[in-house]
Amino acid sequence: MTTDTRSRIEPSPAIVDAVRQWLAPVRTSLGDEFLACYLTGSALHTGFDPKRSGVNLLLIARSLDLTLLDRVHDAMPRDSKATPRIESLFMSELQMRRSLDAFSIEWVEIAEAHLLIEGQDVIRGIEVPILNLRLQCEHELRVKLMRLRHSYLADRGRPKALAATLSGVASSFATLFRTLIRLREETPPAQTPEVVQRVADLYQLDARGLIGAYQLRFSDREYADAELLEVYRRFLVEIDRLVNAIDTLQVG
């Protein structure tokens, strides 16, 4: 499955500046082993709030032996109060290429929404097996559905706890929704509400129920307990329907 970067938005200059400042000593510590640093993740999607979410960086090196890791450890900035918070992932180029089938969703997400900060564009042109993408997506949806049901049974009488559960899974569901659009050979929109609407259209779901997790995560509105319970129930129903729909989806 080939990818492009049309689904990402441009990060703010403040985010890019913070990333470059963090990267400078780390880049020096890697020396000639450094290949690339990418900005990835939620900072490239709508709704990003640096006070709530970290900024994801992917660093690719030619190798990552223990001596090199020790140097990187000593060089990494460690200001726990800094905003935005930098969350870094280090991989060797070989590890990256051999993990495309095992982490299909993650690599398609990165390939479609990344910003090269410095170095060679080693991600460009990577291909992820689409069958692996579908299987991983179904697996994760089924696991999340079981957890949502478990939370409902545990917290049915505590709507605010249910709301916290939905808010906590909003970003991961947004990732799966984008994957579901890709499985229908379309490029996901950059805006999450548009992603939800497109998934609802493609899989014949109720978008008003499917948007619940996103609303609770990013809305400043105060909900009554009865409303929170209804949002959770409607979201749970639509995820159940979605799992049934993807079970019969043919790809490839």
For residue 86, give every residue at least 6 positions away whose Cβ sits within 8 Å of its Cβ, in sequence order, or none: 18, 19, 22, 54, 55, 57, 77
Please give the CATH architecture assigned to the domain spanning 13-119.
Answer: 2-Layer Sandwich (3.30)
Is pLDDT above 60 for 48? Answer: yes
What value does the mean pLDDT of the chain take? 90
Full-model pTM: 0.78
Q: What mean pLDDT comes out for the span 173-195?
A: 91
Identify whether the C-beta of residue 190 lies closer than 8 Å to the C-beta of residue 45.
yes
> Which helix (H) or strand (E) segment is 42 a member of?
none
pLDDT in tens, 120-160: 999 988 888 777 888 899 999 999 999 999 999 999 999 99
Question: In this predicted structure, which of 4-18, 117-131, 216-230 has the lowest mean pLDDT?
Answer: 4-18
Residue 113's nearest CA partner among 30, 193, 56, 54 is: 56
Residue 189's identity, in one-letter code, is: P
Residue 150's identity, in one-letter code, is: H
Domain layout of the chain by residue ranges: 13-119, 130-247
pLDDT in tens, 162-183: 999 999 999 899 999 999 999 9
Encode burial over 111-144: b for 16+ CB neighbours within 10 A, e otherwise. bbbbbebebeeebeebebebebbbebbbebbeeb
Instruction: Tell me whether the omega of the peptide bond preceding residue 77 falls within 30 degrees of 0, making it cis.
Output: no
